[in-house]
Amino acid sequence: MPKLASSPILLGLATVLASVSFFFHVVIPRSFLYQEALWWVPIVLGGMCVWLGYSAWRVARYRRFTIIYMVLLTPFAFSYPGWVLVLFLMLASGTYHGPMP
């Protein structure tokens, strides 16, 4: 039976939290009240994701790969930098035809 605090399990939980944080603004209603009341949720979820990544790094056998994975995951964990990265990649590839950010 796997340990509860093994590195793959902690990184899996961090990935789930990062995806929830990244798509959080898509799920909540487009209302000023919701946007103002819940702006802090992606920041808290991102902090929890970083904490899970640090915990995974402490118990990991291959620490370098854990750090690389968390560095790639962190922008998406905080939602806002992840969306900026997606827009930048779309703009750089020429597939973005919307208003300029």
pLDDT, tens digit, 9 for 90 and up, residues 19-75? 998 888 888 877 888 877 788 888 899 999 999 999 999 999 999 999 999 999 988
- pTM for the full model? 0.77
Alpha-carbon distance of 19 to 45, in angstroms, equals: 10
Instruction: Specify the pLDDT at position 4.
Output: 67
3-state secondary structure of 95: coil
Look at the block and give the residue holding tokens 């509860």: 4
CA-to-CA separations, 61 to 57, 58, 69, 71, 98, in angstroms, rounded: 8, 9, 14, 17, 45
DSSP summary character for residue 39: T
Alpha-carbon distance of 51 to 53, in angstroms, equals: 5
